[in-house]
Amino acid sequence: MKIAASFLDIKEPKMEELKYLDSLDIDYIHLDVMDGIFVENKTYTYEEFYDITRFTTKPKDIHLMVSDVKKYIDEFAQMKPKFITFHYEAVSEVSSVINYIKELGIGVGISIKPTTDVSEVVKYLPYLDLILVMSVEPGRGGQAFIEESIKKIEQLYTLREKENYHYQIEVDGGINNETIKKCNKADICVVGSYITRQDYKEAIRKLRD
C-alpha cells in the first residue's frame, strides 16, 4: 500500500515541517486544493503552494476540490505532478477534462464524494490512471472514516480485475492505523491528520505495520 501524505493541517513552520515529512517513508505528497466554492474552505493560491512545496522531492498527487477545474489544471500542471485528480461532481464535460489532463502528459484521476455511486463513473474507468474514493465529505481534515467507502473500493477492485483496467485505487479521509486495514484493496491511502497530529515518523511506521 502506498502512502500519500496530505499536509493540509501541518504544523508551523509549514515549509520546514513539510520538508521533514518529505524525507520520511511516504510515496507521494498529496496537495488538497480548495476554492471556497466547490467546498467551503479555501486553501492557498498556486504561487503559495509552489513556494511551500518547492523543496519536496516526492511525486505530487494533486486533489482539486474546485469548480473552475481547467484554470487549476493549467496552474498545477506546471509542477509536473504524477496525478491531477478532479471531482466528477464539479464538471459537466467529464471526458473532455480527462483528455485535457492526459494531453498534458499527467496521470489523470477522478474523485467521487461519499454520496456518489461507482455506477455513475463506470464509463470513464477505462481512461483513468486513478480513481479517488472520498471516505469523508471533501473540504477538511480530521473527520471520521465513512465505512460504506470500503464497498466502493472493493467494487472498483473487482471491475479492474474483470475488465483489465489500469487505474490505481486511492482512498482519502479518516485514514489511521485501524481504518487502513479495511482499505486493503486500495493501492494508495491519503493520510492527513493521523500523521500531522503526532510524531510523523512513528505514525508512518504504524501505518506500514
Interface positions with Zn ion (CB under 5 A): 32, 63, 172
Q: Kindly provide the residue ranges of all beta strands, DSSP E only, lying in the chain, ordered along the sequence.
A: 2-6, 28-34, 60-65, 83-87, 107-112, 130-134, 168-172, 188-191
Chosen from ligand DX5, Zn ion, none, partner binding at 69 (C-beta under 5 to 8 Å by type): none
Number of residues that bind ligand DX5 (CB under 6 A): 21
CB-wise, 148 or 163, nearer to ligand DX5?
148
Chosen from ligand DX5, Zn ion, none, partner binding at 18 (C-beta under 5 to 8 Å by type): none
Is-contact 23 13, C-beta < 8 A? no
Q: How far is the CB of 116 from Zn ion (least distance, A)?
A: 15
Q: Which amino acid is at 57?
A: T
Q: Which of 61, 129, 172, 187 is catalytic?
A: 172
Q: How far is the CB of 164 from ligand DX5 (least distance, A)?
A: 29
- Angle (CA) 199-27-61 rounded to 5° is 105
Q: Which amino acid is at 92?
A: S
Q: Judged by CB under 6 A, which stretch of 90-98, 121-129, 155-163, 188-196 contacts ligand DX5?
A: 188-196
What are the φ/ψ torsions at residue 201 (nearest 5 degrees)? Answer: -65, -45
Interaction of residue 114 with ligand DX5, rule CB under 6 A: no
Three cell numbers written together for 44: 492557498
Catalytic sites, residue numbers:
32, 172
